[in-house]
Amino acid sequence: MDDFMTTGSYALTLGDAFRLARRISSHLADPAVDGVVVTHGTDTMEESAYMADLLVESDKPVVFTGAQRAADAPDSDGPRNIADAVRVAGAPGARGLGTLLCFEQEFHAARDVTKSHTSRVDTFVSGEHGKLGEVDGDTVIVHRRPNLAGTISTDRVEEDVEIVKLGIGTTDRSIRLAAAAGVKGIVIEGFGRGNATPPVTAAAIELVGQGIPVVMTSRCQRGRVKPIYGNGGGRTLAEGGVIFAGDLSAQKARILLSVLLGSGMPMAEIRRQVERFGM
């Protein structure tokens, strides 16, 4: 048992998630340890799990879990989720799956999973990718194995990375204020295939010219961004140097960009890695 920290997951930082991943790696280095289970608040569990997925090099299982209902609720889901996560962490078939999230008798790849409901116990889903497997009593069943892009070696993460979410008529105010405040990277959660309003498109291209990486994701829950439309759309953004992140969500793309920036990669390599992890 390692009482790493007791903080609401809504209050965690990128640095906290990085330190957690490092702590997980230190435990997995012990030959007596077969796997690690991490209990974590559900609000940002998927982000901490993806940070671990990018950084932990061991093929031993790392399984995040938690609860939607309070521990003193008559039908609390926490004890069952923890028991299932321990079963997954101890299952030989779970080795080499990357970091996992186990909830409501299912386990998912950290890259793909997201919290989809504010309160239901079956909140975690993996969209069109689907779950990796399930826990049926004492049996751990693996349905599919993900195509892992590998891990990234770094001694730090860049915490000054912001997400700019777009709606109809969104101005360039937020993205320019972030740049003026010294942001090191920006993730845009744009429209459809990866489009933005004209003011945001212009600002994003300007920021790329200043050496600030800008990554495009979609506010759609399924599908991939791809530079299709010209006349100020995704193709214009891509031509201006904005990086398209495949089917990564905005919050996952932010985790990835923080790791890549922390590693000191040049812009060209950041682009290559974002496109690789977004496949």
In-domain check, residue 234: yes
Whether 165 and 137 map to the same domain: the answer is: no
Q: What is the pLDDT of residue 230?
A: 87
CATH number of the domain where residue 166 is located: 3.40.50.40
In-domain check, residue 255: yes
Whether 89 and 168 map to the same domain: the answer is: no
In-domain check, residue 1: no
Whether 184 and 248 map to the same domain: the answer is: yes
Whether 135 and 169 map to the same domain: the answer is: no
Q: Of 109, 142, 175, which residue sits at a domain end? A: 142
**In terms of residue numbers, what domain contains 270?**
161-277
Whether 104 and 178 map to the same domain: the answer is: no
Q: What is the pLDDT of residue 259?
A: 98
Whether 78 and 202 map to the same domain: the answer is: no
In the block, tokens 């790791």 appear at 259
Interior angle at CA 242, CA 198 and CA 206, nearest 5: 60
Q: What is the pLDDT of residue 75?
A: 86
Whether 271 and 167 map to the same domain: the answer is: yes
Distances (CA, A) of 130 to 61, 126, 148, 159: 19, 5, 15, 30
**What pTM value is reported for the model?**
0.96
In-domain check, residue 84: yes
Q: What is the pLDDT of residue 71?
A: 87
Report which of 115, 107, 110 is spatially closest to residue 83, judged by C-alpha positions: 107
CATH number of the domain where residue 19 is located: 3.40.50.1170
Whether 18 and 121 map to the same domain: the answer is: yes
CB 77 within 8 A of CB 69: yes
In-domain check, residue 3: no
Q: What is the pLDDT of residue 172?
A: 97
In-domain check, residue 125: yes
Q: What is the pLDDT of residue 232?
A: 83
CA 243 from chain center: how many Å? 17
Q: How many domains does the chain have?
A: 2
Whether 128 and 233 map to the same domain: the answer is: no
Whether 103 and 35 map to the same domain: the answer is: yes
In-domain check, residue 151: no
Whether 112 and 180 map to the same domain: the answer is: no
Q: Of 115, 142, 169, which residue sits at a domain end? A: 142
- 10-residue averages of pLDDT along the chain (279 residues): 93 98 98 98 98 98 96 90 98 97 98 97 95 97 93 97 98 98 98 97 98 98 94 93 98 98 97 95
Whether 135 and 195 map to the same domain: the answer is: no
In-domain check, residue 221: yes
Q: Of 85, 110, 142, which residue sits at a domain end? A: 142
